[in-house]
Structure 1
Amino acid sequence: MPTPRLLLLPVLLLLALAAAAPAGASTTQESMFQDDPLLVYGTETTGALPTGQSFSAAQETVQKRTLDKLKRLGVDRIRVSVFWALVAPANASRTKPAFNAADPGQYDPEAWTRYDKLLVNAANRGIAVNMNITSPVPRWAAGNPEREDLVGTYEPDPVEFARFVTAVGTRYSGTYRPVAGGPALPRADYWSIWNEPNQPGWLTPQWVPDRSAPGGFAEAAPRIYRALADAMWSGLQVSGHGGDTILVGEMAPKGQVTARGISRAMKPRRFILRVYCLDDNAVPLRGADATRNGCPTDGPVEAFRDAHPGLFKVTGLAHHPYEVSQRPDAPPLDPEFFTTANLRALGSLMGRIFARYGAPVPGKLPGSFPLYLTEYGYQTSPPDPLGVTLAQQAAYLNQAEYLTARNRAVKTLSQFLLIDDRPVAGKTAAARFGATFQSGLQTLQGRRKPAYAAYRFPLHVVRSGRDAKVWGLLRVGRPNTRETVRIEGLARGAKRYRTLRTVRTEPRRGYLEAAVRLTRTTRVRLAWTDPATKAVVRSRSAVIGVR
């Protein structure tokens, strides 16, 4: 019987390719990560989160340990939810306390501690920060809903929101000193406006009864969000952040198909068009439709553009293109949903919106609207029986990385959760897992899923006839360095992987691409030896079937 090595050699013929990102692909896409329970709350239990404003040394230890792990995973930036009610004083009171909400010095110093520590600890590790200022809303800054469960999201006061943003921006301006004569806090220079405003878990009402059509509903969330975007823009300008990265949108990928109501999610296409006062054909709303949406009923379109810099002078659109349970290239079931499979449609829509108002598209790529994918992940089974398998999670995350890296409009892709959420009590799987996320790279018990290695060193293989294109991202490589990566193969019948060839990564982000020609089914993986530690880092193993 031939040895494994002899088996390998005749069946693997390599095609030489330059090891660089393909033409048209991004070489600057950031790796973002979010896990608020670990980073903001400093808890590894992921059960009921602490409700108080204090932040202990033990919580900071969790925060630091998490940042260390993210650094080892190659994370460039973390997305941080700045929860308004978590910082605001008397957040459960209907009456606003007597204080200047635009002055960070007039808040309880303890209320800022978790964020102060997080920015300092992230900066010490070379990890940048995206500050997403969002609900829940303090009771004194919210409207008066008929349902008590909506208080934290209901009709947030844009004037009070602008003051809070001013306080946050001032505190993290790079010059603010909490203690006279003490060190200044780090500067935050990357911001996004609210979280998933087309979802009732973050903003309500989504719809309100339409007085002109008994039994009907009119959009409400876009009008509210438009005011919040302008308020945040104003607060950031006042606090010295006018030149920072500022993102609008932060939409969830889907919404209710037909159901409407105060807490019924809105489809993202409809939502963003109404935010910009456009109908379904991207034509400015007029008459009663405009009035219902808080839009101008007449006048030049340029007047609306100039009145809303928070919509038109932003850096780009933030979006959450989750598919959750399908392949990342599976077209969404509704054309008004936006997932990783139809991001170009989302970018095209934003281009149409800006063109309608004669506004220049942000960024440096003509005709390409910048997209920032600030939440993404896959729900897994186990533990959620409705999720994808652990192997599918790893493969789908890598495929999504491949798809977005080839889209030059995409500036970042964010992984949502390091550790799974704890499910809530319930009789059914939908009840237990429907309100939580099991999209972590580790289980609740801390066991690494296959996605952990897949995130650290993404691999995606595209087959074309007898050839297979091997694409990878050495996320953990040294910055601005052309690293040497081995493509390793396992032939049918072999017991050991053998190096098929070595390739060099492109220096900016660590992408690589090469082709192999195979005549037998085989597995392929990537391997890199850290020159400093001599530790070997490997990707997941991908099966390639060749006819």
Structure 2
Amino acid sequence: MPIGFQDDATFRWSKNPPRELDEAAAAHASLIRTIADWRAIAPARPRRATNPFDPAYRLNDLDQLVRGAQERGIRVMITIWGTPRWANGGHGPNFAPKRLADLTNFARALAARYSGRYRGYPYVGRYSVWNEPNLGIFLTPQFDARRNIVSPRIYASLYRAAYKGIKTGNRSALVAIGETSNQGRDHPLRGVNDSVAPATFARLLARQHGLRFDAYATHPYPTRPGLPPTQKVRWPNVTLTRLKQFEHSLDGWFHRRNVPVWITEYGYETKPAERTGVTNAQQAAYLSRVVRQLRADPRVHMFIWFIFRDSPHSLWQSGVYASSGHAKRSYRVFSALARVTAGESKTITAHVSPTISLPVPKLAFTSPPGTAIDVDYRIYLGGRRLAIGRATPRLLTSQTVAFRARFRPAPGRTYTVRMAADNADGGHVAATYELVTVGKNR
């Protein structure tokens, strides 16, 4: 399960982003989520909107993040959000564009820029569309004049448009739908921002036609800053204690089996910066509990902690570093857990030698696609080593190498693959992979 952080203020706009990325890499983060704010990237309409390098696009800070992450072996996930005023008739970023083709064109340009086809612009393979669209502050309207819920339908049109663009720009990219918050009201209330409960939103979203997706993204925070991960909430709100119910419901609503889930935001704010937060010790304990719970859930394919470093100017104080610069207890906990959690997991077929796709962004920083990469691997069942092998696959534009592991997996087993990959420039990547077999005994 890739595990990492979201913190644009730190990783993109701080005084020293490279140093911050060094600290994230030292914590064994394998993934960084970032927001591609369409209105900030394209404040004026591009002349050739599908061109990844149209001069209207302001992408320098995002470029630097993607390059810096690749250099440190960290992958990036991009969430597209925020409509420019020129695209929605002068409204705020939470209003949908008048022409959905404008969103498609932007998403296509962004995904193409980071498709691995252009030297100096690394591959980004994970995307999601919009942020917390069940909240009026991010997508409006949530209700129509008759108080009917309309935001899932509006979001579906946004998602289709962005999905089409992303897959056109980079057909191998994974795209998540949803990005829903933990709670909401299913009716408008005077004086309160409009919102829809996440399970209600997902249920109504599933009624919309033509939605293709690779995962469902959700933010199962506790409903108040100081509450523990064991907090029980009333359905259709979704916190960690409702996650299993939500997963099974997604299968039924979307008529799919085992819908993958991305946890793209989670965190705990700490005192004294956040008066209603938890202590540093509680934050560390809760982080440990949450990661261990999610690591045991085969549906969860990603975990993002929000944020990395506190700031006195931020509304959020949930970082693993305090604004003073000192690491909180949660930093050590995160680092220890990420060291053994950040590997990939894959379901394989019994009795068939599996093909393993190994992410090697650090090697891709110095080696172009097509470079031969030496891979040594060892396969374990429990603590017992079953096989040793070597392969020399070619580096793909997706910053991965793919090879066939020479062993015959038995049904109903979980194997651990430990790998070391090297290139001719002296680059080295070590990784762990989990293989779960399905199929019957012969």
> Normalized against structure 2, the TM-score is what?
0.73
| Cα distance between partner residues in 2 of 1:192 and 1:372 | 10
Q: Secondary structure at the match of 2:242?
A: helix
Structure-1 residue corresponding to 2:431 = none
Structure-2 residue corresponding to 1:152 = 93
Structure-2 residue corresponding to 1:335 = 235
1:455 aligns with 2:334: yes
| Cα distance between partner residues in 2 of 1:257 and 1:476 | 37
Match for 2:299 among 393, 401, 409? 409
| Cα distance between partner residues in 2 of 1:187 and 1:39 | 18
Structure-2 residue corresponding to 1:114 = 61
Contact 2:2 2:342 in 1 (8 A): no
Long gaps (5+) in structure 1: 1-28, 44-58, 91-96, 146-150, 177-182, 211-216, 278-294, 296-303, 362-367, 425-435, 459-471, 483-505, 511-547
| Cα distance between partner residues in 1 of 2:418 and 2:320 | 21
**1:85 Cα offset (Å):** 1.1
Aligned 1:154-193 pairs, distance under 5 A: 154-157=95-98, 158-176=100-118, 183-193=119-129
Percent identical among aligned pairs is 28
Shift in alpha-carbon separation, 1:263–1:143, aligned structure 2, 3 A: farther
Structure 2: which amino acid aligns with 1:317? Y
- How many residue pairs match? The answer is 348
Structure-2 residue corresponding to 1:139 = 85
**1:354 Cα offset (Å):** 2.1
Contact 1:475 1:509 in 2 (8 A): no
Q: Secondary structure at the match of 2:226?
A: coil
Match for 1:422 among 312, 330, 340? 312
Structure-1 residue corresponding to 2:180 = 251
Contact 2:180 2:219 in 1 (8 A): yes
Shift in alpha-carbon separation, 1:446–1:231, aligned structure 2, 3 A: same
| Cα distance between partner residues in 2 of 1:473 and 1:384 | 29
Contact 1:143 1:154 in 2 (8 A): no
Q: Secondary structure at the match of 2:53?
A: helix
1:32 aligns with 2:4: yes
Aligned 1:165-314 pairs, distance under 5 A: 165-176=107-118, 183-210=119-146, 217-239=147-169, 241-256=170-185, 259-260=188-189, 263-277=193-207, 304=209, 308=210, 311=211, 313-314=212-213
Q: Deviations over 1:43-62 (max 9, x none)?
A: 2xxxxxxxxxxxxxxx5xx2
**1:234 Cα offset (Å):** 0.9
**1:257 Cα offset (Å):** 6.4
Match for 1:354 among 254, 264, 267? 254
Structure-2 residue corresponding to 1:315 = 214
Contact 2:182 2:197 in 1 (8 A): yes
| Cα distance between partner residues in 1 of 2:251 and 2:134 | 20
| Cα distance between partner residues in 1 of 2:339 and 2:165 | 38
| Cα distance between partner residues in 2 of 1:232 and 1:189 | 15
Structure 2: which amino acid aligns with 1:242? R
| Cα distance between partner residues in 1 of 2:417 and 2:218 | 24
1:375 aligns with 2:329: no
Structure 2: which amino acid aligns with 1:166? R
Q: Deviations over 1:93-114 (max 9, x none)?
A: xxxx4612222232336x1111
> Normalized against structure 1, the TM-score is what?
0.60
Structure 1: which amino acid aligns with 2:63? D
Match for 1:325 among 210, 220, 226? 226
Contact 1:473 1:509 in 2 (8 A): no
Match for 1:390 among 271, 277, 280? 280
Contact 1:381 1:389 in 2 (8 A): yes
**1:509 Cα offset (Å):** 9.0
Q: Secondary structure at the match of 1:338?
A: coil
Q: Secondary structure at the match of 2:318?
A: coil
Contact 1:87 1:112 in 2 (8 A): yes
**1:230 Cα offset (Å):** 0.3
| Cα distance between partner residues in 2 of 1:120 and 1:87 | 18
Contact 2:149 2:186 in 1 (8 A): no
Long gaps (5+) in structure 2: 344-357, 359-376, 381-414, 420-442
Contact 1:207 1:263 in 2 (8 A): no
Q: Secondary structure at the match of 2:79?
A: strand
Q: Deviations over 1:114-165 (max 9, x none)?
A: 1111111111111111111112x211112565xxxxx121233422111110
| Cα distance between partner residues in 1 of 2:201 and 2:254 | 15
1:78 aligns with 2:46: no
| Cα distance between partner residues in 2 of 1:331 and 1:509 | 38
| Cα distance between partner residues in 2 of 1:235 and 1:193 | 11
Contact 1:72 1:476 in 2 (8 A): no
Contact 1:251 1:320 in 2 (8 A): yes
Shift in alpha-carbon separation, 1:98–1:167, aligned structure 2, 3 A: closer
**1:395 Cα offset (Å):** 0.5
Structure 1: which amino acid aligns with 2:268? Y
Q: Secondary structure at the match of 1:457?
A: helix
**1:475 Cα offset (Å):** 5.7
**1:35 Cα offset (Å):** 0.7
Q: Deviations over 1:165-196 (max 9, x none)?
A: 011012112123xxxxxx34112111111111
Contact 1:142 1:153 in 2 (8 A): no
Structure-2 residue corresponding to 1:399 = 289
Aligned 1:61-72 pairs, distance under 5 A: 62-72=16-26
Aligned 1:48-63 pairs, distance under 5 A: 59=15, 62-63=16-17
Structure 2: which amino acid aligns with 1:326? L
Q: CA RMSD in A?
A: 2.6
**1:391 Cα offset (Å):** 1.1
